[in-house]
Amino acid sequence: MGLAQPCSLKPATAMTGTGLIEALVALLIVSFGMLAMIEVEAKLRSIADIAKQRGEAMHLAQQEMEQLRAYSVLALGANPLAGTWSYAEIHDPQAIVQDAGDPDSNATFSLIRQVTDWSEPQQKAVRIEVHWHDRSGAEQFVVIDSLIARADPGLSGSLGIAPSSTALQGPAGRHPAIPLKAKDLGDRSSVFKPTSTAMVVWIFNNLTGNITGTCTVRKDMTTAALTAADLADCRNNTRAYLLSGFVRFSDQIAPDKSRSGSRVLPLAMALLLTRSGPQNLPSAECFDDSAETAQGYVSYYCSVYPSSSEPQIWSGQLSVNGIALGGSDWKICRYSADQDGDGQIANAEHPLSYSQVTGSLANQNFLVIPAVTSCPTGQAINPQAGNFSNITTVLHQR
């Protein structure tokens, strides 16, 4: 009987080596997974940290804006009470406020305030910026913008007083700048043809008084004859502001500022527009009925197409052309006065030059008188004496 052969150990050795390699590969995979999880966790913590910082920054910006809105007077008088904040103190430039946030926060915030004054309507455009650096050193920031109107805080108390009568409405229940001859279309809009010979019509928004549409019509069509069907293609195709008023004439040596004379001179209205900032130069077209009126005065209407960028505004000066001025001829006065007593001649009060107009204007009236006379002065508003308007005139052209 032969001897048994010894068993070989090579297969067992091979199996042991394979298991070790598999364990190492598994460990490597688990390591990559753990590293990825650590990176994701770090990313999530960074996002949560930035979100917390952004919330703190937004709170700082809103707090600053509300502090600006909390003015109690328009301007500080003599010996103001401690802590009194005025509208006039909202100004620019403003130094950067460093370390504006909570000292226990994990970020250091810087607050920047920028203020731009608007003349019409009187308000301030305010921008608040809050900057900081996150944990990685990257710069972060938030920005909020708002408008703060110049309104006397004392007027807010009137909101708690019940009105003694119903609210006043504009002529025909529309914006007062819309001409009385405009036809109400019954859909919160009105249509108007500026003169009988004009071939253009304007569509007005009854609430705002602004021109929202325009189109060309036959010369023989009248405002009263126009219907909504005629104007189907004329709506919402433009945005313009109306500038309108009357030109009165008085050839007396002592001009009558409150009555029109019987003499009417041919004239033409011209609006010299100026650029308001970087926006495109506005344009305008003017019409007057000097060739067809028998009323002793001339009506004029100008549609002004403002700048295309926000805010949509225009600036410029209106002049009366076609009338010989100076010497023994004529001079032009304008009806202009500080109606609201704020010490300024606003756009609605007929200034020499309009600045940043944001809406339609009516009653921008003129008086033509002999050049050798002076523009007549008027009386102040005094309801007890029956004077409900200031009809002061000042020199406009000569």
67-93 per-position pLDDT tens digit? 888 888 888 877 778 878 888 888 876
Per-residue pLDDT band for 3 (boundaries 50, 70, 90) equals low
pLDDT of residue 166: 46
Percent of the chain with pLDDT over 70: 84
Instruction: Answer yes or no: are the C-beta atoms of 140 and 53 closer than 8 Å.
Output: yes
Domains annotated for the chain, with CATH where assigned, are 29-71+88-151 (3.30.1300), 171-397 (no CATH)
368: exposed, middle or buried (Cβ count in 10 Å: 0-12, 13-18, 19+): buried
Residue count (the chain): 398
Whether the pLDDT of residue 310 is over 50: the answer is yes
Burial (CB < 10 A; 0-12, 13-18, 19+), residue 190, is buried
For residue range 103-126, what is the model confidence (pLDDT) as tens digits? Answer: 777 788 988 898 988 877 889 999
Task: Indicate whether this model's pTM tops 0.75.
Answer: no
Cis check: omega of the bond before 383, within 30 degrees of 0:
no
Asked if pLDDT for residue 249 goes beyond 60, the answer is yes
Identify the weakest region by mean pLDDT among 5-9, 169-173, 233-237, 275-279: 5-9
Sorting pLDDT into bands at 50, 70 and 90, what band is 143?
very high
Mean pLDDT of the chain: 82
For β-strands 241-249 and 366-370, DSSP reports them as parallel
Judge whether 300 and 284 are in contact, CB under 8 Å: no
- Rounded mean pLDDT, 260-276: 75
Contact 378, 367 (CB under 8 A): no
